[in-house]
Amino acid sequence: MEKTVRTLAEFEAEAVRFAHALVPREGGATLVTLSGELGAGKTAFIKAVAKAFGVEETVTSPTFVLEKIYELGSEASKFERLVHIDAYRLEGGSDLAPLGFDELMQDAGNLILLEWPEKVADALQDISIRISILVQPDGIRTISYE
Ligand SMILES: Nc1ncnc2c1ncn2[C@@H]1O[C@H](COP(=O)(O)OP(=O)(O)OP(=O)(O)O)[C@@H](O)[C@H]1O
Ligand SMILES: [Mg+2]
C-alpha cells in the first residue's frame, strides 16, 4: 500500500492512522522497520506513532542512544511497550545483541520500530511491516507499506 503526503501535518496524520490500524503479532513482538534517506522522516513518523499510543515525553532521535523504550502501560493501548531503535551506527546484526534485541522480540507486548534495517538485515526476522519513505524533489513524501 502507498500513501502520498504533501505536508508534515499530513505525514503525521498518516502515522497516526497507521498506529490505529496496526494489528499486534501473536507469539512475539511486532517489528516495524523504517527505511528512507537521511532526513526522510523516519524519526518523525515514530514520534507521531508514539504520541498516538499516549507517549507524552518527547521522543528524541536515538541516533546516539541507539535504543529507547517507552512504557505504554495504559489499558487502552494494544502494546505494553514501544521500543525505538536507530541502527544507523550499527555494523551488522550482531550489534543488536547488546540492546537485548532477541529478548525484546520474544515479548508480544512490544512494538519495535527500527530505523535503518539495512544495517542489521542479517538479524531481522518476523518483520510485520516494512515502511519506506521516499522524498521527492518538491518535498512530497510517498510512504509505502509492505
Ligand atoms: N512532510 C514532511 N514529512 C516528514 N518530515 C518532514 C516533513 N516536512 C518537514 N519535515 C521535517 O524533516 C525532518 C525529518 O527528520 P527525521 O529525523 O524524522 O528523519 P529521519 O528519516 O529519521 O533521518 P535519519 O536517517 O537522520 O534518522 C524533521 O525535522 C521533520 O520535521
Ligand atoms: Mg531518524
Q: Are strands 30-35 and 110-115 parallel, antiparallel or unpaired?
A: parallel
pLDDT tens sequence across 83-108: 999 999 999 999 999 999 999 999 99
Sheet holding 67-71, edge to edge: 2-5, 141-145, 127-135, 30-35, 110-115, 81-86, 67-71
Instruction: Sketch out the chain's domains with CATH numbers.
Output: 2-145 (3.40.50.300)
Q: CA–CA separation, 137 vs 99, rounded Å?
A: 36
Q: CA–CA separation, 94 vs 81, rounded Å?
A: 23
Dist. CA 47 → ligand 2 center (Å)? 10
Please give, one letter per residue, the 3-state secondary structure of the chain.
CEEEECCHHHHHHHHHHHHHHCCCCCCCCEEEEEECCCCCCHHHHHHHHHHHCCCCCCCCCCCCCCEEEEECCCCCCCCCEEEEEECCCCCCHHHHHHHCHHHHHHCCCEEEEEECHHHHHHHCCCEEEEEEEEECCCCCEEEEEC
Nearest atom (ligand 1) to Cα of 86: 27
- Is the model's pLDDT at 64 over the cut of 70? no
Looking at residue 61, its pLDDT comes to 66
pTM, two decimals, is: 0.95
Identify the residue whose C-alpha is closest to ligand 1 atom 6. Answer: 8
Looking at residue 59, its pLDDT comes to 67
Identify the residue whose C-alpha is closest to ligand 1 atom 24. Answer: 38
What rounded mean pLDDT belongs to the chain? 94
Identify the residue whose C-alpha is closest to ligand 1 atom 2. Answer: 8
Q: CA–CA separation, 6 vs 117, rounded Å?
A: 25
Ligand nearest to the CA of 14: 1
For the ranges 33-47, 54-68, 115-129, which has the lowest average pLDDT? 54-68
Provide residues with CB under 6 Å of ligand 1.
7-8, 11, 36, 38-44, 61, 63, 88, 115, 141
